[in-house]
Amino acid sequence: MSAATALAYTDEIARSTAPLYERVRNVIPAIEWPHHAPYVAAINRLKRERNAVILAHNYMTPEIYHCVSDFVGDSLALAQQAAKTKADVIVMAGVHFMAETAKLLSPEKTVVIPDLDAGCSLAASVTGADVRLLRQKYPGVPVVSYVNTSADVKAETDVCCTSGNAVKVVESLKVPRVIFLPDEYLGRWVARQTKVDVILWKGHCEVHERFSAAEIAAYRRDHEGLVVIAHPECPPEVLDAVDYVGSTANMIDFVRQRRPARVLMVTECSMSDNVAAELPSVEFIRPCNLCPHMKRITLDKIHHALETLEPRVEIPADIAERARRSVERMVAIGR
């Protein structure tokens, strides 16, 4: 949206949003709040009018994550939480495959994503046609797909997984060999923890693949007593150099429970901001690798999506039915 359409910051909005600013004051400068507050107020009003819920992934910026969202977390948990609500509308503050997953689990609800171009390098690295070719090359070998995939890929998959339950899902199949896609590094992490032969696909997250072991070593030299935790989408040499490896949800739980004096979260930068807003006593060292796709989602675009209920996410019925089965099989296995 252009500056000409920006909403006005009034005394009434300042008063009504003051409690929300208290949640983020240590990560959002006071000078920025007059820009965010009018959208925060308008979005929270429109949510009530539309009977809508906003799902915010852990990589959303703090003004979205803490001030307008109804549910926060990783992509599957968000979709599951939204499915349990009586909302008519779901707004996905995340990327496109996440909105598709929400639609799979809530087919009767209107699902919108504020920017259709909010994609994902992992999801873009593989197609349903690729999976069909893999099945021809490896007949009888089951396909495990990370949730960071399109509905088209999920429809060609035996069972999905998250970064948190990938090992459990692979071992639940009780087979000697699986095809794992699309994240090569997550697949290597899984292979190291199981005796199952894992056939990998060379997809990478453009945020996590940029981290290096040398970078981690430099942070440790510069920050005494630093605790380093990483997402398994990072390269293997990075995972070898850190103190803990886990999904976004597990990383957040680690910091909440351990309360390290100083921590480096080796993942998308906004997640550190969101946890820092909650835990001001913890010092966060930020590498600040940002996801360009996640950052397409902004307050003004969320406001527009709620006003227009566009862009909507739709999935062809035949694809949706098969994709839903692969997700439901994963849910039945558990986290």
36 lies in the same domain as 72: yes
Contact 181, 137 (CB under 8 A): no
Q: Render 30-76 in DSSP notation, one character per residue.
A: GGGHHHHHHHHHHHHHHHHHHTEEEEEETTS-HHHHTTT-SEEE-HH
Tell me whether residue 319 is in a domain.
no
- For residue 65, the domain's CATH number is 3.40.50.10800
Tell me whether residue 213 is in a domain.
yes
Residue 294 makes CB contacts below 8 A (sequence gap 6+) with 57, 59, 60, 94, 95, 118, 268, 270
- In this predicted model, what pLDDT tens digit does every residue of 9-40 receive, in sequence order? 999 999 999 999 999 999 999 999 999 999 99
Phi, psi of 268 (to 5 degrees): -65, 140
194 lies in the same domain as 95: no
- In this predicted model, what pLDDT tens digit does every residue of 107-143 receive, in sequence order? 999 999 999 999 999 999 999 999 999 999 999 999 9
274 lies in the same domain as 229: yes
Locate tokens 């739709």: which residue? Answer: 314
Nearest to 121 by CA among 231, 235, 232, 206: 206
Tell me whether residue 84 is in a domain.
yes
14 lies in the same domain as 93: yes
Phi, psi of 266 (to 5 degrees): -85, 85
Task: Report the percent of the chain where pLDDT is more than 70.
Answer: 98
Contact 281, 262 (CB under 8 A): no
Q: Extract the runs of DSSP E, i.e. beta strands, from the chain.
A: 52-57, 71-73, 89-93, 110-112, 143-146, 159-161, 177-181, 197-200, 227-230, 244-245, 262-266, 283-285
Distance between CA atoms of residues 166 and 294, nearest Å: 23
Q: What is the DSSP letter of 8?
A: P
132 lies in the same domain as 213: no
Distance between CA atoms of residues 333 and 264, nearest Å: 31
85 lies in the same domain as 31: yes
Residue 4 has pLDDT above 50, yes or no: no
Tell me whether residue 329 is in a domain.
no
pLDDT at 134: 98
Task: Report the percent of the chain where pLDDT is more than 90.
Answer: 94
Locate tokens 């080796």: which residue? Answer: 266
- In this predicted model, what pLDDT tens digit does every residue of 280-294 receive, in sequence order? 999 999 887 899 999
Residue 199 has pLDDT above 80, yes or no: yes
Tell me whether residue 255 is in a domain.
yes
Domain count, the chain: 3
Distance between CA atoms of residues 63 and 28, nearest Å: 8
The residue type at 91: V
pLDDT at 31: 97
193 lies in the same domain as 237: no
Range of the domain at 26: 3-120+294-308
Residue 263 has pLDDT above 80, yes or no: yes
Residue 1 has pLDDT above 60, yes or no: no
Phi, psi of 325 (to 5 degrees): -60, -40
Tell me whether residue 96 is in a domain.
yes
- In this predicted model, what pLDDT tens digit does every residue of 203-261 receive, in sequence order? 999 999 999 999 999 999 999 999 999 999 999 999 999 999 999 999 999 999 999 99
Residue 2 has pLDDT above 60, yes or no: no
pLDDT at 287: 83
pLDDT at 5: 61
- In this predicted model, what pLDDT tens digit does every residue of 165-189 receive, in sequence order? 999 999 999 999 999 999 999 999 9
